[in-house]
Amino acid sequence: MQQVYFEDVGVMDYQAAWDYQTARHRALVDHKLSHRHLPAGTYPQEHTLIFTEHPPVYTLGRSGSMDNLLLTEAQLQEKGIQFFTINRGGDITFHGPGQIVGYPILDLECFFTDIHQYVRFLEEAVIRTIAMYGVKGERIEGYTGVWVQGPPASGWNGPETNKKRKICAIGVHLSRWVTLHGWAFNVTTPLTYFEYIIPCGITEEDKTVTSLAHELGYTPDINEVKNRLKYHFADIFKCEFVIFQEH
Please identify every residue annotated as catalytic: 200
Task: Assign 187 to helix, strand or coil.
Answer: coil
Alpha-helical (H) ranges within 160-237 are 212-216, 222-237
Q: 83-114: buried (b, 16+ CB within 10 Å) or exposed (e) per residue? A: beebebbbbbbbbbebbbbbbbbbbbebbeee
CA dihedral of 1, 126, 124, 30, whole degrees rounded to 10: -40
The CA-based angle 237-57-25, given to 5 degrees, is 40
- Are the C-beta atoms of 173 and 180 separated by less than 8 Å? yes
What angle separates helix 115-131 from helix 222-237, to the nearest 10 degrees? Answer: 140
Strands of the 92-95 sheet, one edge to the other: 82-85, 57-60, 92-95
- As beta bridge partners, residue 47 has 4
Give 149's Cβ-side CA count (13 Å radius).
7
- Measured in Å, how far apart are the chain's first and last C-alpha atoms? 22
